[in-house]
Amino acid sequence: KDAIGEISNISMGSAATTLGMLLNQTVTITTPNVSYVEWGELADSYDRPCVFLQIKYVDGLDGNNVLVLKENDVKIITDLMMGGAGEVDDSEPLSELHLSAIGEAMNQMMGSAATSMSSMLNKKIDISPPTAELVDLNESMNTGKLPEFLKSKFVKVSFKMLIGNLIDSEIMQLYPFEFAKSLYEIFGMKSGGSSDSTASATASAQPAPAPAPA
């Protein structure tokens, strides 16, 4: 969990800088929280449609992950990209224009994250352009909209995201367990970690006990 958190923290820090330049706003992404969850747990924490952006690695890493953004955050980001002030109508339906714009924003953002990961892991990493889709988290997993890895337990990396004074929200990355494990193994080799990486990675992805209330 610590390794995945560190990789995500550095790569998403670069991504936040890129998004800030694109939106001409200060973008802050906090230290990530890494957990190992099932679909039902995710659906229970998000009761309205979200935008899923599926990202596939085409060079350097084998696998994919999903970036999750709240619907209203997507509208605000899209408005800012088009030169607006980020003022949106909550009742306005999400359109193909919104999905296309957020796909382009996340393409630039995650491209920057991939470049950062390339430097960190000392290997070339490239992504394909993300595909964006509005998903109701309460709908069946059998609709065909969602990647197969979400049918079993997966790794969730959540960040608090602040964009100017317009967005105070959360952004999530969802990884297949095997992909998270491979990241850990590469990171471990790069930093001279234990050779028993498979056993260590399995242990690292188990949910940690909840911290005691402050």
Digit-coded pLDDT (tens) for 181-209: 888 888 776 655 443 433 333 333 334 44
* pLDDT for 184: 85
Q: Which residues of the chain have pLDDT under 70?
A: 47-48, 139-145, 189-214
In the structure encoding, which two tokens stand for residue 140, read together? 């069946």
* pLDDT for 161: 93
* pLDDT for 100: 93
CA 59 to chain centre: 18
At 53, phi and psi to the nearest 5?
Answer: -115, 115
* pLDDT for 142: 60
* pLDDT for 74: 93
* pLDDT for 194: 41
Reported pTM: 0.81
Cβ atoms within 10 A of the Cβ of 126, count?
A: 14
Residue whose pair of structure tokens reads 């790569």 in the numeric block = 11
DSSP H helices in 65-133: 71-81, 96-121
To 5 degrees, how large is the angle CA 107–CA 133–CA 45?
A: 105
In the structure encoding, which two tokens stand for residue 28, read together? 């802050």
Judged by DSSP in three states, 194 sits in: coil
To 5 degrees, how large is the angle CA 55–CA 58–CA 63?
A: 60
* pLDDT for 205: 36
Listed as own residue / partner, the contacts of 168-172 with beta carbons closer than 8 Å and 24 or more positions apart are 169/70, 169/73, 170/70, 171/29, 171/67, 171/68, 171/69, 171/73, 172/67, 172/68
